[in-house]
Structure 1
Amino acid sequence: MQHPKTIHWGIIGLGKIAHKFAQDLSHVPNCKLYAVASRDQLKANRFSKSYGAQIAYSNYEALVEDQNVDAVYIATPHAFHNEHSILCLNHKKAVLCEKPFAMSLSEVDEMIATAKANNVLLMEALWTYYLPHYQFALNHLQQATYGQIKKIEADFGFQPEIDMTSRVFKKSLGGGSLLDIGIYPLFAALSTLGEPVQIESKATFFENGVDSSTLMLLSYANGVEAHLKSTLVEQTPSEAIFYCDNGIIKINSRFHEPSSVTVISEGNEDTYEFDYTTNGYNYEADHFNELIRQNKKESDIMTFDFSKKLITMLDTVRQQIGLTY
């Protein structure tokens, strides 16, 4: 029996999320963290040492020129996703790019076109899609186990220390609640109900012009509504609740990361646990590795079409609330 190809990973951008991804990559079979890159050599050295990468580069160009790198995880701020994805794709590297895929549909279109022109795999890293608890809920909703969805409520809110120089708040880096965390409630609606016929949005803002909170109402042709919220000024339940004909499926806090699912039906309430032992990034990495081994150029789960619909919804909300970058 042929041994699966070992995938050699590179990471560009070595912030908080890159640490979590690197930790989880060690739990994925037949792959290894081979190279990391930061504009700061000392930061790259420290990161490399922490996670056993063979090489630490002080610039992104050197990493993508390394012939031993098979796949690159892009964990730089939102505003650079397009630029860094295209850099990797033009060097024939498979790209797993953190969400949001880019800053606008036009940027996403450019990334997809570049991937196709180079015949290279590209995928948006929206890790929630691959988490077992989310797949469990999604399966029951798609199979209509408890009837059709009547309403969705999904929120994501936390209260970080206000620091306008940090990535979360900085306008030049795509800061604000919508792109950073509002994408998750929108994802919950899109992955279960598809595209809405109408979106209505309103927001509050920090002094620098990025949104502090955004409320979104999605309306569907069958009368179903999705009530969504993202905020950086209060701690919210951060749950996704699906009200169906014959029951409620609730993805417990925080729904976008490893969690549990509670099903309420016919007077019974059952909570399902999923025995997570990692941060949860290993599931999308494992999927991506298999795509490479199968010589696929697009995910059958996180498709280009899905990513384009998601960024289009984000663009629509941004336009409605007057958020410009």
Structure 2
Amino acid sequence: MAAPVLPVSRVPDSKDAPSLRWGIMGPGWIAERFTESVQAHSRQVIAAVGSRSLSRSKEFAEKFGVPAAYGSYHELASAPDIDIVYVTTPHNFHHSAALLALEAGKHVLIEKPIGLNAEQARDITARARSAGVFATEAMWTFFLPKFDIIRQILEAGTLGTITTVVAEYGEQFNRTHRIFDPALAGGPLLDLGTYPLALITEILGAPERMHVLGQPHESGVHAQLSAIMGFAGGSQAVMNTQLHNFTPTAATIVGSQATLTIDGPFNMPGGFDVRFPDGTQLRHNEPAGGHFEGLHYEAAAVARCIAAGRTESLERPLDASVRTMEAADEIRRLLGITFPGEDRTKEEL
């Protein structure tokens, strides 16, 4: 019997993707990392940037050579020479900013989390499908070449029946960071926790039951939270996310026939191992990297989808985003976490 081997990534070179003209809605940190990555590794064009502050837009445009800068999200959404809007506003505005772009007939890529809750995620999904335009959540991890290999491993049944997924993500932040601001939906869950939660729900689906623990922070947000989840068939998952300090950000997928362990940080470019009970080990090696090395893959995948006439990505379908937000909603319900303005249909942009 031939020794097992790992599949090969099917992700094409990002430079081979057709070029789109992108408008950046919210010139913050992630918008800068995205722009750096796509300008270096793809043919995507950052054609415009919009903010509620024209001076911020102009500063971003000058820094990255972007030809157009707007002083409102409305102006950017209505710009006639933009193919797609990348929503990188604070969490509170993801939903309303996405609707603004969709109502203007623009394709949209929405930074994670897709909304504050599952209701907002479902609303974006319904409106995008009704409009017949492309929409997806920028859960960039799932667009990386290594995750295409992991997806093939799971689909082939190499691990056997999945029994357990364990994933965590912790970082240390300066006390002035928005993650400590309750008014901006702060706390680790929607910033860091979406990564392990998305991985868990991608592999095991929607949890049937859940137990959670939370630790409050003096700022009014949660400092950390942990969840144990049970799924149909008896599979379990364990998640922790916290703001105290950096952690390995590791992830392990346990199956009845093999265990897959992703190097930390699991959500970024890097390697992983597949280990079998007989001692056989398969290693996927790739250089560890960050946003600069990885964000261009999602941009290229989106461009290929739109060129092919697809309205959702295979890597992160809208229903998957809704499923993750439903799990996050249940964690919040059990911990009593609410966000200001969440009950309003649209935040004022």
1:127-163 alpha-carbon deviations (Å, 9 max, x no partner): 1111112222232123221322221110001121223
Which of 142, 146, 152 is the equivalent residue of 1:133?
A: 146
Aligned to 2:4: none
Match status 1:59 vs 2:72:
yes
Moved more, 79-88 or 254-263: 254-263
Q: What is the letter of the counterpart of residue 33 of structure 1?
A: I
CA–CA separation in structure 2 for the residues paired with 1:146 and 1:311: 27
Aligned length: 321
Percentage of identical aligned residues: 29
How much has 1:4 moved relative to structure 2?
7.5
CA contact (8 A) 1:88 1:94 kept: yes
Alignment match, 1:118: 131
Q: Shift of residue 245 of structure 1?
A: 2.0
Supply the distance in 1 between the matched residues of 2:237 and 2:230 (Cα, whole angstroms): 7
Between 116-125 and 265-274, the greater mean CA deviation after superposition? 265-274
Q: Could you say what the CA RMSD is over the residues aligned between the two structures, in angstroms? A: 1.8
Q: CA deviation at 1:109?
A: 2.1
Whether the aligned pair in 1 keeps the contact of 2:17 and 2:304 (CA below 8 Å) is: no
Written as runs of structure 1 = structure 2, the 5 A alignment for 1:91-106 is: 91-106=104-119
Superposition pairs of residues 1-325 of structure 1, within 5 angstroms: 6-27=19-40, 29-163=42-176, 166-265=177-276, 266-275=278-287, 278-325=292-339
TM-score (norm 2): 0.87
| Cα distance in 2, alignment partners of residues 64 and 29 from structure 1 | 23
Q: Retained in 2: the 8 A contact 1:37–1:58?
A: yes
Question: Deviations 1:50-73 (Å, cap 9, x if unpaired)?
Answer: 222111112211111210000011
Query: What is the TM-score when the length of structure 1 is the normalising length?
Result: 0.93
Conserved 8 A contact 1:141-1:148: no
Flag the 1:140–1:85 CA change in 2: closer, same or farther, 3 A. same
Q: List structure 1 segments (4+ residues) > 6 angstroms apart after TM superposition.
A: none
Q: CA deviation at 1:45?
A: 2.0
Q: CA deviation at 1:32?
A: 0.6
Q: 1:50, 1:297 → 2: CA distance?
A: 32
Paired amino acid for 1:120: V
1:270 Cα offset (Å): 4.1
Q: Which runs of 5+ in 2 are unaligned?
A: 1-15, 340-349
Q: CA deviation at 1:29?
A: 4.0
**Distance (Å, rounded) in 1 between the aligned partners of 2:138 and 2:17:** 23
Question: How many Å separate the matches in 1 of 2:18 and 2:30?
Answer: 26
Q: What is the one-letter code of the residue matched to 1:246?
A: Q
Between 92-101 and 139-148, report the one with greater CA deviation: 139-148
Gapped regions of structure 1 (runs ≥ 5): none
Moved more, 259-268 or 170-179: 259-268
Task: Provide, for residues 208-242 of structure 1, a one-character-per-residue CA deviation record: whole Å limited to 9, x for no partner.
Answer: 43211110111122222111110111322201111
SS in 2 for 1:109: helix
CA distance in 2, matches of 1:60, 1:286: 24
